[in-house]
Amino acid sequence: MELRTLRYFVAVAEELHFGRAAARLHMSQPPLSRAIKQLETEIGALLFARSPVGVTLTPVGAVLLDEARALLGQADRVRARVSAAAGAATLTVGILGDSTDPGTTRLAAAYRRRHPGIDIHIRDTDLTDPTCGLRAGLVDVALTRAPFDETALTVRELRSDPVGVVVRADDPLARHDRLRLAGLDDRRWFRFPQDTDPLWRSYWNGGRPREGPVVRVVQECLQAVLWNGTVGLAPLGHDLPAQLAAVPLTDMPPSRVVVAWNEGDTNPLIRSFTDMATTAYHR
């Protein structure tokens, strides 16, 4: 029974869907299905009850899930201790935006429990680099938001959030229950510098060029709205100052929270971080 196969099993057991598990593992579905069938043959019992809409764990599968999680956790701890002995006992995490996100809080607590000897360095980045310095080698892994240029990066979606427009509380737009992007065309927006990732800049500008003050960090965005009466987009669900309001947008695609790391990086601390992030943000 290989650790890799157990990781496959845990992914299917947590997603309860072979397609979603394959996407999470960054592999195609047929080899994942074959690996699970081989594991069932090895154990001599079915692990999943399959149906057209997904799968459910059998009693044997539920037992294996508990044991597999414990075994994989121990394997991660072994790797971490070996890495520490080799002088690689640090992990630098880039965080873009709200570091108080409940998913981040859960992930931090879980990671410290599993890897108490690892020195975690946090790099809180501004809004001009959605990769948080991955390509520059400034961080090992990033908790950020898509979309951005994913060339040479591996990206896993953790959650998606609805998006709204941020306005002053006394702005006439604040009286609306919901808005469309077209209703903002005559307004000035806060915007990012020209050297910002084009995909990222286009998304937060609602898909077209805008005029308005240039901002680099979240507080500058909020102050641009407060002092200049500009508008701008933001994920919903975050607390705003009393002087500001957020109105949902009906035609804006959701903002995807993702974890990203450099393609081909086999650092076990990163693998453990990304696996735990998936669990922490899916609760």
- pLDDT tens digits for range 14-27: 888 888 888 777 67
CATH of region 3-86, choose from 3.40.50.620, 3.40.50.300, 1.10.10.10, 2.40.50.100: 1.10.10.10
pTM of the model: 0.69
pLDDT at 86: 62
Q: Is the dihedral of CA 240, 146, 95, 276 positive or negative?
A: positive
Residue with tokens 């873009």: 96
Which candidate, 153, 155, 143, 47, places its Cα nearest to that of 103? 143
Fold agreement (89-158+255-283, 163-253): yes
Q: Domain 163-253 is of which CATH architecture?
A: 3-Layer(aba) Sandwich (3.40)
pLDDT at 177: 96
How far is 185 from 198, CA to CA, in rounded Å?
20
pLDDT at 7: 87
pLDDT in tens, 161-176: 999 999 999 999 999 9
User: Domain limits of the chain?
Assistant: 3-86, 89-158+255-283, 163-253
**Does domain 89-158+255-283 fall into CATH 3.40.50.620?**
no
How far is 236 from 234, CA to CA, in rounded Å?
6
Is residue 94 within 8 A of residue 32, CB to CB? The reply is no
